[in-house]
Amino acid sequence: MMIFLLEEKIMRAVIVDKPGTVHVGTAPDPTPKADEVLIRVGACGICGTDLHIAEGSFPPSPYPIIPGHEFAGEIVALGSNVPKGIGRKGTVLREGMRVAVDPSLFCGHCDFCRVGHGNLCANWGAIGDTVSGAFAEYVAVPAANVYLIPDHVSYREAALVEPISCAVHGLHKLSPRLGDTMLIVGAGTMGLLLMQLALRGGASRIAMMDLNTKRLALAEKLGASRIATSVDELLSYEPDGFDCVVDATGIARAIESGFTAVKRGGKFMVFGVANSEARVSLSPFRIYNDEITVVGSMAVLDSFQPAIDLVASGAINMEVMLTQALPLERYPEALEMVRRGEGVKTQVLPNGNL
């Protein structure tokens, strides 16, 4: 079957033709450029950005585009000039290697890249966001973006590395102190990942707020010390507030109520992706008088290998996180499940169970 596809140079892929029009069809089989490798996709996760790309509300995306940026798979071909000595132990890449892929495409030469701030790259791009991604049988990616995964980590687990890597970067930015109390507003995929990592990173207790009680139940199962559908309720147990408050919703009202729960001298992190037009009302007097630190966190930076190591060591409860896996043909349906907030992480398996 695969040989047939390679000969025909045609593969199955999700194509967003234009905002609002998504179909599963065929696309030319990608050929890796000199410094690229071809990946047979094992699993690719759907996230909020994919909803925005389908709707046309993610400005960097061109159309038509094959989306998909949270993925892992097998190397099946190498370009003519793939650099040797990639990543840990100076790996020489070969066909058959199992990898997770960092979707970030940083230019390497802008002002931000030159000071090690590639996630703020002036020429920012990402596989599946600005160039063809992994909701397809195959995807060609720069060899420098691949990371080997251990044998005991499945492709579905490895496809969760990208969002975990975002959470790791967030916690690097927030840098909570050992023993800190924490409130996370939003118990979706990112909130639940941040919670598991922060508990492992030394938070003494973490309260979780969400309107979805099913997700709160998962948070409790994963170790949340308190769950509630309002911040006020949580404050009744923690009247001085929390050392660290993280917004993982991107919703203006949730950000405002989360901010009221920051303890004097505490930190507030805006992690969720708000609409670019959104505005919030915060008290500058409190930021001044209570010495509150406000932190932002955007995507991935120096956090991909740590995320793989955390997955490999069992830091994340995969059973709770990986709730749905659908074949490529059912992508439109999978997208609807994400839109309705069903389960936790929905993934697509373009080549069946690899």
The distance of closest approach from Cβ of residue 258 to Zn ion in the complex, given in angstroms and rounded to an integer, is 22
Output the six-digit token pair for 105.
């495409």
At 118, list the tokens.
């590639």
Residue 113 makes contact with Zn ion by CB under 5 A = yes
Between β-strands 262-270 and 293-296, what pairing exists: parallel, antiparallel or unpaired? parallel
Of 110 and 315, CB closest to Zn ion = 110
Q: How far apart are CA 137 and CA 143, in angstroms?
A: 18
Q: What is the DSSP letter of 127?
A: B
Among 107, 131, 274, 318, binds Zn ion (CB under 5 A): 107
The verdict on 110 binding Zn ion (CB under 5 A) reads yes
Q: Based on CB atoms, which residue is closest to Zn ion, 123 or 289?
A: 123
Smallest gap from Cβ 54 to Zn ion, in A, equals: 13
Output 113 or 334, the one with its CB closest to Zn ion: 113
CA–CA dist 235, 302 (Å, integer)? 35
Comparing CB distances to Zn ion, the nearer of 109 and 214 is: 109
Structure tokens at 305: 């290998």
Q: Is 47 in the site for Zn ion (CB under 5 A)?
A: yes
Is position 121 an interface residue for Zn ion (rule: CB under 5 A)?
A: yes
Bridge partners for 26 per DSSP:
12
3-class secondary-structure state, position 308: helix
Burial 178-187, CB ≥16 within 10 A → b, else e? eebbbbbbbb
> Residue 83: what residue type?
P
Contact stretch for Zn ion (CB under 5 A) within 121-129, 147-155, 241-249, 274-282: 121-129
Shortest distance in whole angstroms from residue 132 CB to Zn ion = 16
CB of 77 or CB of 110, closer to Zn ion = 110
Q: Which residues pair with 70 in a beta bridge?
A: 45
Q: Does 44 bind Zn ion (CB under 5 A)?
A: no
Of 55-63, 119-127, 174-182, 318-326, the segment contacting Zn ion by CB under 5 A is: 119-127
Give min distance, CB of 344 to Zn ion, in A.
14
Rounded to 10 deg, the angle between the 304-312 and 161-174 helix axes is 110
- Would you tell me which residues interact with Zn ion (CB under 5 A)? 47, 49, 107, 110, 113, 121
